[in-house]
Structure 1
Amino acid sequence: MKKITFILALMILFVSCKNETNQPENAENETAKDSLAPVNDDMLESAIIYEANIRQYSPEGTFDAFTKDIPQLKELGVKVIWLMPMYPISMKKRKATGDKSIEDIEDPEERKMYLGSYYAISDYNAVNPDFGTMEDFDELVRTAHDNDMYVILDWVANHTGWDHAWIEEHPEYYTKNDKGEITDPINDATGEPWGWTDVADLNFDNEGLREAMKKDMLFWIEEHDIDGYRADAAHSVPTDFWEDIAAKLREVKPVFMLAEAESPKELFHNAFEMGYNWEGHHIMNSIAQGDKTAKDWDDYMEKVDSTFQEDDYLMNFVTNHDENSWAGTVEERMGDASEAMLAMSYTLPGMPLIYSGQEYDMNKRLKFFVKDTIPKKKGKVYPLLEKLGKLKTSSVALHGGKSAASYNDVATSADEKVLAFKREKNGETLYYIANMTAEPVEFSAEIEGDFMDYMNDSEMKLAKDQQMSFKGWEYRILINK
């Protein structure tokens, strides 16, 4: 009997030890799964956002091809990945070329070329099969989270493609013309169509639409653990809708909301963390092209200061999918001013954007409705983004969110030509100084002290009223020692 009791005790001890051995592994896995902290304001202060164009990112144009490169984005300091629309695209009235739709193309082989606009969505709750499966998408999100990055989806609330089930099942969700026909989006200012013939305009006066849209947005948060949304044409959708859905999303988890809008300012305060710096971007283009001056930028920043609430902030960029495909490459728009403008976008209040291919010196307009591919060879821009990324993610003086470092214009003896500003927070100070012209300039600035010239890895001492000489488009980022 004692022998049997002893054997039983050994068995119980073995099972217990085995369970204890497994327990830490399970606990560790659970911890790893939940290791990414929820979206929070502190993280966003130093964040960099990357716009991922899945179709054009790789020759394959798949989720998997992008997922394998996510760890590399850490080299650039990326914290938020914004996926351009990755939903199925409508076939009906699909854009082809010029004013033609796919119905105008007779050759069936040629028709296969035209993949349509990412923004003509046929199903909000599915993924584009050209990109992969839902499991592939989930792996992308997991990989981003494992690498301490958040994923936001491009949400197109203003319109759907003409194949969306709502067209037949809920025609009351759509805007109608005088004949009672569903119409493509109309420019409220002119009463004329925008020309977006491949999409059908949604009517947010309909309560059923609002509830259906909210349900679809909650789906990706609840079922696929994404971290927020970039709202396409946010200004075209009633502000109260965005306020309602933002509140509902945040009941599930903290989220990051980006509005493709600069106004109304209430959008940012009640629904969105960040908006687009469209006006600032256009001024950058104009300065690079010689149509505006450094003084115009100073005037613009005064306008921003008086227009937005204190905790609003903007996304700064030298390119994005719209600019690249329709307005031109960085080289086309900014030329020799490109590097100064890129450095400026990192040192301004707000969050800098990297668009797919920008890191590889992409100097072509990506085709919008057919397959194309970004370059994948590192050149001049990649190490520049690495260096700027390290500064943005480590310097308190470049905090750009709800508790942003201060921004103050610095007077120079050549304010029309030279842009100089100071960022400061918690005792850290940073200056950006740039010749915003193509010609050499001599000037003095109200800056004095011992500094590190960050981009050149050298020391720089400035005395009061000291004369400086900058070549065309030369810039410096100075850090207090």
Structure 2
Amino acid sequence: MKRVFRALLIFALLLSVTTPVSAKTERTWQDERIYFIMVDRFNNGNPKNDYEVDVHDPKAYHGGDLQGIIDKLDYIKEMGFTAIWLTPIFANEKGGYHGYWIEDFYKVEEHFGTLDDFKRLVKEAHKRDMKVILDFVVNHTGYNHPWLNDPAKKDWFHEKKDIFNWANQQEVENGWLFGLPDLAQENPEVKTYLFDVAKWWIQETDIDGYRLDTVKHVPKWFWDEFAKEVKSVKQDFFLLGEVWHDDPRYVAEYGKHGIDALIDFPFYKEASTIFSNVDQSLEPLYNVWKRNVAFYERPYLLGTFLDNHDTVRFTRLALQNRINPVTRLKLGLTYLFSAPGIPIMYYGTEIALDGGEDPDNRRLMNFRTDKELIDYVTKLGELRAKLPSLRRGDFELLYEKDGMALFKRTYEKETTVIAINNTSKTQKVTLDGELEQGKELRGLLAGDLVRSKDGKYDIILDRETAEIYVLAPKTGLNIPFIAALVVVYTAFGLFLYFARKRKAS
């Protein structure tokens, strides 16, 4: 009931915003919000496929499967996510709970279920208007792949060599990453095989996109051809590439070779550092955005994130700084959901799941936990869905001093202001000339209201809090808003009355 009440309250607040907004536009990938799932560590929906499961061994299977994801699709959708990204579901060699040690590209890992289970997952997601992105690996196979012992396929792999010089692109592309057998994409048979299997999964299951693993370890020319092949099957198929590098110029090059969007590691580096501690300036994050605009052809399609399966959990970073991870996550997620880019949230973030280095950062999800952060994520998802400026608007830094920051986003006739106080003290900021005069800022996260006075807006935020404002005409007695509030409170009062009456009887 709390969730219903909160949703009605936000609806009432949004109803009161009389600023004209754009007509409904076609949904594109920059409008998505992605929930990232490590299949084995999410939810056990079918105990019958629990082979050699040991939840106490961080390197063993923990029982998560495709049925478990199906069972939680409504949970994910209710938080406001419009797409899910799954780690590889292909059959892996022993110990490959994470999915990246592939043994058979055409089979579903038996611990996860069957091909029919996956088809059903995609159908159920599509029924909920949610898209499905599957992790896809073309750089390597598992350590003991049968091809390694097949004389007919001796040319399917590069010579066994480790990567020593990471500045040498040829070495990066041909070396065996972490000792994993490196596929020779220049071999026509290998290339054809990878193209065929990539198209087969789209044709068989109707997935919506691939998250491409280890992109920089594969030649750029391959991605040009790969993109043409998969999009010949499904024109709007989405390719999200992982290029782990701190230099945006290096990463941006791959966006010119058929890959639609890229994971923003420079964003992660700054965001995880800034928001996991107090009194940290947000200006470095804005500088990341300015560089993105300069270097990328499609900066709004960059995948932004606070942590993932290859990094220390954000919660652990906050704990190392001896600070409340829930408070820090609220600030970080506010920026993630209101700044440009496609927000990607790693499973468990909504419960502040802890975890250190791999594999500790891949703990089993806990669904019996406090919902404070889940409700906050839900609220952010609702606002991003309802306010086009948070998905498509321009992005301007209005003010920043030692961690107190104000950002403005404008799309058509809608203007929002994102206020984040990442300091240890209450802060007051006066905007004079940055916003249209004679209006008011209506806070949709915490319900703050700031009316312009003499053309100025005085924004006051408590320490370590955030607010998302929408600029709207000043209101006197806002009849629709008051009526909506009356409906909300009346419904809530009736619920409490009948609940008590039922308890008494």
Same fold judged by TM-score > 0.5? yes
TM-aligned CA distance change 1:453 to 1:139, over 3 Å:
same
The whole-number CA distance in structure 1 between the counterparts of 2:179 and 2:360 is: 12
TM-aligned CA distance change 1:322 to 1:363, over 3 Å:
same
TM-aligned CA distance change 1:392 to 1:312, over 3 Å:
closer
Alignment-derived partner of residue 354 in structure 1? 345
Q: Residues 48 and 351 of structure 1 are in contact (CA less than 8 Å); yes or no, is this contact kept in structure 2?
A: yes
Corresponding residue to 1:405 among 393, 396, 421: 393
The whole-number CA distance in structure 2 between the counterparts of 1:248 and 1:424 is: 37
Q: Residues 299 and 341 of structure 2 are in contact (CA less than 8 Å); yes or no, is this contact kept in structure 1?
A: no
Deviations 1:191-249 (A, max 9, x none): 69999545212223323222211111111011221111000121221222112111111
The whole-number CA distance in structure 1 between the counterparts of 2:362 and 2:382 is: 33
Alignment-derived partner of residue 84 in structure 1? 87
The whole-number CA distance in structure 1 between the counterparts of 2:289 and 2:363 is: 37
TM-aligned CA distance change 1:392 to 1:371, over 3 Å:
closer
Alignment-derived partner of residue 40 in structure 2? 55
Q: CA deviation at 1:294?
A: 2.2
Alignment-derived partner of residue 48 in structure 2? none
SS at match of 2:359: coil
The whole-number CA distance in structure 1 between the counterparts of 2:201 and 2:226 is: 13
Alignment-derived partner of residue 55 in structure 2? none
TM-aligned CA distance change 1:332 to 1:240, over 3 Å:
farther
Structure 1: runs of 5 or more not aligned: 1-39, 92-113, 177-181
Alignment-derived partner of residue 375 in structure 2? 383
Deviations 1:148-191 (A, max 9, x none): 11111101121111232332331212120xxxxx3466653276
The whole-number CA distance in structure 1 between the counterparts of 2:130 and 2:458 is: 44
Corresponding residue to 1:188 among 160, 166, 169: 166
The whole-number CA distance in structure 2 between the counterparts of 1:53 and 1:84 is: 5
Alignment-derived partner of residue 179 in structure 1? none
Alignment-derived partner of residue 303 in structure 1? 291
Deviations 1:286-322 (A, max 9, x none): 2233695223223222212211124652112222222
Corresponding residue to 1:470 among 458, 461, 465: 461
The whole-number CA distance in structure 2 between the counterparts of 1:437 and 1:247 is: 48
Q: Residues 269 and 312 of structure 1 are in contact (CA less than 8 Å); yes or no, is this contact kept in structure 2?
A: no
Alignment-derived partner of residue 155 in structure 2? 172
Q: Residues 418 and 466 of structure 2 are in contact (CA less than 8 Å); yes or no, is this contact kept in structure 1?
A: yes
Which letter maps to 1:313? L
Determine whether 1:453 maps to 2:434. no
The whole-number CA distance in structure 2 between the counterparts of 1:283 and 1:370 is: 19
Which letter maps to 1:259? G
Q: CA deviation at 1:444?
A: 2.9
TM-aligned CA distance change 1:255 to 1:244, over 3 Å:
same
Q: Which moved more, 1:285-294 or 1:364-373?
A: 364-373
Alignment-derived partner of residue 36 in structure 1? none
Which letter maps to 1:87? F
Determine whether 1:257 maps to 2:239. yes
Which letter maps to 1:131? F
The whole-number CA distance in structure 2 between the counterparts of 1:435 and 1:71 is: 33
SS at match of 1:409: strand
Q: Residues 280 and 403 of structure 2 are in contact (CA less than 8 Å); yes or no, is this contact kept in structure 1?
A: no
Q: CA deviation at 1:275?
A: 1.2
TM-aligned CA distance change 1:227 to 1:270, over 3 Å:
same
- Percent identity reads 22
Which letter maps to 2:373? V
Alignment-derived partner of residue 139 in structure 1? 120
The whole-number CA distance in structure 1 between the counterparts of 2:414 and 2:232 is: 36
The whole-number CA distance in structure 2 between the counterparts of 1:327 and 1:434 is: 19
Q: CA deviation at 1:470?
A: 3.2
TM-score between the two structures when normalised by the length of structure 1: 0.77
Alignment-derived partner of residue 160 in structure 1? 141
The whole-number CA distance in structure 2 between the counterparts of 1:303 and 1:249 is: 30
The whole-number CA distance in structure 1 between the counterparts of 2:215 and 2:296 is: 17
Write out aligned runs for 1:281-430 (5 A). Answer: 281-288=268-275, 289=277, 293-310=281-298, 313-324=301-312, 328=316, 332=320, 335=325, 336-365=327-356, 368=359, 372-377=363-368, 378-399=370-391, 404-410=392-398, 412=399, 414-430=400-416
TM-aligned CA distance change 1:116 to 1:135, over 3 Å:
closer
Q: Residues 63 and 137 of structure 1 are in contact (CA less than 8 Å); yes or no, is this contact kept in structure 2?
A: yes
Q: CA deviation at 1:423?
A: 0.9
SS at match of 1:123: strand
Provide the aligned C-alpha RMSD in A. 2.9
Q: Residues 174 and 200 of structure 1 are in contact (CA less than 8 Å); yes or no, is this contact kept in structure 2?
A: yes
Alignment-derived partner of residue 69 in structure 1? 72
The whole-number CA distance in structure 2 between the counterparts of 1:184 and 1:89 is: 22
Q: Residues 218 and 249 of structure 1 are in contact (CA less than 8 Å); yes or no, is this contact kept in structure 2?
A: yes
Which letter maps to 1:393? A
Alignment-derived partner of residue 207 in structure 1? 188
SS at match of 1:42: coil
TM-score between the two structures when normalised by the length of structure 2: 0.74
Q: Residues 47 and 80 of structure 1 are in contact (CA less than 8 Å); yes or no, is this contact kept in structure 2?
A: yes
Alignment-derived partner of residue 421 in structure 2? 435
Q: Residues 264 and 302 of structure 2 are in contact (CA less than 8 Å); yes or no, is this contact kept in structure 1?
A: yes
Write out aligned runs for 1:272-283 (5 A). Answer: 272-283=259-270
TM-aligned CA distance change 1:390 to 1:231, over 3 Å:
same
Corresponding residue to 1:122 among 81, 103, 106: 103
Q: CA deviation at 1:72?
A: 2.6
Q: CA deviation at 1:465?
A: 5.1
The whole-number CA distance in structure 2 between the counterparts of 1:174 and 1:441 is: 59
TM-aligned CA distance change 1:293 to 1:452, over 3 Å:
same
Q: Which moved more, 1:291-300 or 1:470-479?
A: 291-300
Q: CA deviation at 1:428?
A: 0.8
Q: Residues 240 and 262 of structure 2 are in contact (CA less than 8 Å); yes or no, is this contact kept in structure 1?
A: yes
TM-aligned CA distance change 1:325 to 1:418, over 3 Å:
closer
